[in-house]
């Protein structure tokens, strides 16, 4: 993909008083091409949204959960317009049936079905590495799932407003992206690399650190570390900037300990969820102070001291990684959303929530062709993207194309950092979720207890005035005492 220019040409004409007023009100920084699809270019409306974003948003929070395709959570969400569906989402089409054998369609097919407490039978994770994903993809026909996943009917189950009410409530109240893709066809580690670097070590595509610790595996570990240390990431862009940032996960400690393999128990350098922990530079004084325990997010939010950029990483138990109970992740996410909305920083914050890969679950939309990605120039499968802000459109669904580098590009552009690779330089930035002409929306505090959830919930009127700030939000004790330390023993 061609690199987008950071400067607009001298002949660029900006039309409209709002755009011009916004431009003069902001620091003199480079203009940006903000494509909504891979082939589209600069539009006045999108440029205006970008500059309004820069004028209103000072804090970006990225929360990355685990292993669920878009259809797995939102297959039946707002497939038709209604009271709680102002926009139609690209969910599973009626009559969908996936063949048991893509080479013999007469052998029958499986229809996606809603999970219930009775039929939810998954006891371990589904295959979701490159081999399984490529088999699912079946050269774009998307009908190889049954033989490729080798997991019976489990890949075809989906949640709805009854079984995942909190996620549906967030989508209902804020903005949902239904054409947002993971960056690579596969599991967590390469996708987390793309989130922070626009690429990743080649060894990350197929290397599973939790596998048996034979001599070849250990040699591959060394190769991975070598490749990781030569991969520039967003922290290298942040190094000489004035932009504050924190990676809310765990304190790193020392690199010598991080790369240890002690009786098969790997150090944090092999973390699937914090790829920058594999880089020796992360442990020096320039960077390690930015890696903090995830529990600190609550106090920073309450004190109004959120950094400009926050990455929030849940523990494995709260990460939404199958086969964990979905309510654990919903409760954790509710606590993070509440912390942001109760914060003095609420009116200047945009929060982006996604899942790092498809987890082996079915999705009916084919990955996009994208030059520069590590899996045959293809993105991964769709994953949900939920965007929460006082300026989020109410009950909104956007079909704008995006992928994990879109979040990286957003951070790079908003804080004038430059960019890392052609993939992130050209990534479409997710601006369509916002309406900056509306009065800032009041916080919506959600229950962190499953018994307090139901879908649908009353829609918030966008004209409701912003109240005085809430008092400090106190998360449940379970989240205040979380141990964020993660190792190569993580599930992928």
Parse the chain into domains and list their residue ranges.
Answer: 57-398+438-480
pLDDT the model gives residue 367 = 97
pLDDT of residue 36: 37
Q: Which two tokens stand for residue 279?
A: 């880089």
- C-alpha pair distances (Å), 110 with each of 16, 135, 142, 148: 52, 17, 13, 14
Residue 138: per-residue pLDDT: 94
**Residue 125: what pLDDT?**
87
In the chain, pLDDT over 90 holds for what percent of residues? 74
Q: What are phi and psi of 392, to 5 degrees?
A: -65, 140
Residue 410 main-chain phi, psi, to 5 deg: -55, -50
Instruction: Give pLDDT tens digits for 422-442.
Output: 999 999 999 999 999 999 999
Of 5-9, 120-124, 241-245, the one with minimum mean pLDDT is 5-9
Q: Which residues sit opposite 280 in a β-bridge?
A: none
Helix (H) or strand (E) holding 333: helix 326-341
Reported as a single tens digit per residue, the pLDDT across 37-46 is 333 344 557 7
What pLDDT is stored for residue 475 in this prediction? 79
Q: What is the pLDDT at residue 169?
A: 97
Task: Determine the pLDDT at residue 264.
Answer: 64
Residue 30 has pLDDT above 60, yes or no: no
Q: Which residue has the higher pLDDT, 261 or 447?
A: 447
Residue 120 banded pLDDT, cuts 50, 70, 90: confident
Burial (CB count <10 Å: 0-12, 13-18, 19+), residue 95: exposed
pLDDT at 477: 79
Tokens of residue 321, six digits = 């990684």
Within 10 A of 303 (CB to CB), how many other CB atoms are there?
A: 12
Q: Identify the three-state secondary structure at position 375.
A: strand
- Per DSSP (E only), the strands in 199-340 are 245-249, 261-262, 265-266, 291-293, 309-312
CA distance 405 to 176: 17
Residue 463 half-sphere exposure, CB side, CA atoms within 13 Å?
0
Report the residue count for the chain.
Answer: 492
Residue 112: helix, strand or coil by DSSP? coil
Question: Which single residue is written with the structure tokens 């959570």?
Answer: 73
Q: Mean of the pLDDT values across residues 29-54?
A: 58
pLDDT tens track for 325-338 = 899 999 999 999 99
DSSP of 331-376, one letter per residue? Answer: HHHHHHHHHHHTSTTGGGEEEEEEESS-TT---SSPPPB-TT-TBT
Q: Does position 57 have pLDDT exceeding 80, yes or no?
A: yes
**Alpha-carbon distance 191 to 184, whole Å?**
6
Chain centre distance of CA 299: 23
Higher-scoring residue by pLDDT: 112, 118:
112
Q: Which residues lie closer than 8 Å to 373 by C-beta, 6 or more apart?
A: 183, 184, 194, 379, 423
Q: Percent of the chain having pLDDT more than 70?
A: 85
User: Is residue 61 within 8 Å of 353, Cβ to Cβ?
Assistant: no
Backbone angles phi, psi at 309, to 5 degrees: -130, 130
Q: 266 has which bridge partners?
A: 261
The pLDDT assigned to 172 comes to 97
pLDDT value at residue 217: 72
Rg of the chain on CA atoms, in Å: 22
| Buried/exposed 351-384: b ≥16 CB within 10 Å, e otherwise | bbbbbbbbbbbbbbbbbbebebbbbeebbbbbbb
Q: Give the torsion through C-alpha atoms of 24, 43, 374, 227, to 10 deg.
A: -10
Is pLDDT at 420 greater than 70 in this prediction?
A: yes
Structure tokens at 215: 């001599």
* pLDDT given for residue 220 in this prediction: 82
Q: Given a cut of 90, is residue 368 above it in pLDDT?
A: yes
pLDDT tens for residues 140-172?
A: 999 999 999 999 999 999 999 999 999 999 999
Average pLDDT taken over every residue of the chain = 87
For 298, phi then psi, to 5°, come to: -65, -45
């Amino acid at each position: 993909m061609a690199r987008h220019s950071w400067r607009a040409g001298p002949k660029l004409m900006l039309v409209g008083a709002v755009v011009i007023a916004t431009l003069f009100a902001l620091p003199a920084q480079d203009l940006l091409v903000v494509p909504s699809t891979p082939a589209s270019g600069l539009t006045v409306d999108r440029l205006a949204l970008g500059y309004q974003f820069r004028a209103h948003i000072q804090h970006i929070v990225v929360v990355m959960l685990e292993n669920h395709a878009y259809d797995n959570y939102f297959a039946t969400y707002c497939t038709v317009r209604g009271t709680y569906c102002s926009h139609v989402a690209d969910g599973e089409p009626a009559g969908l049936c996936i063949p048991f054998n893509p080479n013999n369609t007469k052998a029958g097919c499986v229809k996606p079905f809603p999970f219930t407490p009775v039929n939810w039978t998954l006891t371990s994770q589904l295959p979701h590495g490159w081999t399984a994903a490529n088999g699912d993809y079946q050269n774009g026909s998307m009908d190889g799932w049954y033989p490729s996943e080798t997991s019976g009917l489990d890949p075809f189950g989906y949640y709805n407003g009854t079984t995942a009410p909190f996620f549906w409530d967030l989508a209902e109240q804020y903005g949902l992206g239904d054409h947002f893709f993971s960056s690579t066809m596969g599991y967590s580690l390469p996708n987390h690399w793309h989130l922070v670097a626009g690429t990743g070590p080649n060894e990350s595509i197929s290397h599973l650190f939790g596998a048996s610790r034979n001599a070849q595996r250990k040699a591959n570990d060394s190769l991975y570390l070598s490749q990781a240390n030569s991969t520039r990431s967003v922290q290298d862009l942040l190094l000489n900037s004035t932009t504050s940032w924190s990676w809310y996960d765990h304190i790193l400690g020392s690199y010598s300990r991080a790369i240890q393999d002690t009786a098969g128990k790997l150090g944090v350098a092999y973390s699937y969820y914090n790829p920058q922990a594999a880089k020796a530079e992360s442990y020096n004084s320039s960077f390690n102070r930015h890696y903090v325990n995830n529990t600190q997010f609550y106090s920073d939010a309450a004190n109004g001291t959120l950094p400009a950029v926050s990455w929030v990483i849940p523990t494995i138990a709260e990460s939404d990684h199958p086969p964990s109970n979905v309510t654990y992740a919903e409760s954790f996410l509710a606590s993070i959303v509440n912390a942001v909305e109760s914060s003095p920083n609420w009116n200047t914050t945009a929060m982006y929530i996604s899942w790092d890969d498809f987890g082996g679950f079915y999705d009916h939309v084919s990955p996009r062709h994208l030059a520069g990605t590590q899996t045959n120039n293809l993105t991964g499968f769709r994953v949900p993207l939920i965007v929460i802000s006082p300026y989020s459109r109410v009950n909104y669904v956007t079909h704008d194309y995006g992928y994990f580098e879109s979040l990286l590009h957003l951070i790079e552009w908003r804080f004038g950092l430059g960019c890392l690779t052609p993939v992130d330089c050209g990534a479409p930035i997710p601006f369509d979720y916002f309406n900056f002409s509306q009065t800032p929306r009041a916080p919506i505090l959600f229950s962190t207890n499953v018994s307090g959830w139901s879908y649908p919930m009353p829609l918030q009127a966008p004209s409701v005035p912003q109240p005085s700030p809430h008092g400090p939000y106190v998360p449940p004790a379970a989240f205040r005492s979380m141990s964020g330390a993660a190792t190569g023993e993580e599930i992928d």
